[in-house]
Amino acid sequence: MSGYQHILCAVDLGGENLAVASRAVELAKQYGAKLSLLHVVEYIPIDLANELVLPQQQEIEDQLVEQSKKAVASLVSHLDLEQISENVISGSTKAEIIEFTKAGKVDLIVIGQHGRHGFSRLLGSTANAVLHNAPCDVLAVRIGA
C-alpha cells in the first residue's frame, strides 16, 4: 500500500471549513501529497410555476461562482501550505466531488461531517453520499461536535 498522493478537500464555505481544511493540510504535509480544494456551487433556480425562465439566472450563478472563488481564496490564505489547487465548480455537490476525484486520481477525500443531530443535515447527507460513491478513501472530519 502506498501513501496518499492527491488529497481532495471538499468545502461548503461555512464557518467551520478552516478546521476541515487544516486537517487536510496536515495530512498533505505528512504524506507529501498534492492538495486540491473544491467548492461546488449548487444553484437551483426556484421556479415553482414552471413558467418563468429568467435571463438573470445565469448571471446569479456567475455571481455565486465569483463570490465562492473569493471565499476559497480567503480560506487558502489562512492555510499553511505553499501549493494548494483552488477549484470552484457549478453542479451537483456529490457528482462533482466524485467526478473531480476520478479525473484527478484523488486517493483521499477529506470532508466535514456534522453529527446526525447537527444543524447541517445537508452536509451530513453529502458526506454520506460521497462515502458510498467514492472510488477512494474518505476522511470525515467531525465539526461542531
Which residues of this protein are in contact with a copy of itself, per CB under 8 A?
Answer: 1, 3, 19, 22-23, 26, 30-31, 113, 115-116, 124, 127-128, 131-142, 145
Of the candidates 2, 8, 4, 3, the residue with the CA atom closest to the CA atom of residue 109: 8
Question: Of 55 and 117, which CB lies nearer to a copy of itself in the complex structure?
Answer: 117
Question: Of 68 and 124, which CB lies nearer to a copy of itself in the complex structure?
Answer: 124
Question: Of 46 and 145, which CB lies nearer to a copy of itself in the complex structure?
Answer: 145
Is the separation of the CB atoms in 14 and 39 below 8 Å?
Answer: no
Least distance CB 2 / a copy of itself (angstroms): 10
Backbone angles phi, psi at 15, to 5 degrees: -70, -20
Distance, CA of 52 to CA of 39 (rounded, Å) = 28
Q: How many CB atoms are located within 10 Å of the residue 14 CB?
A: 14
Least distance CB 104 / a copy of itself (angstroms): 16
Least distance CB 13 / a copy of itself (angstroms): 19
- Record the cell numbers describing residue 145, joined without a space: 461536535
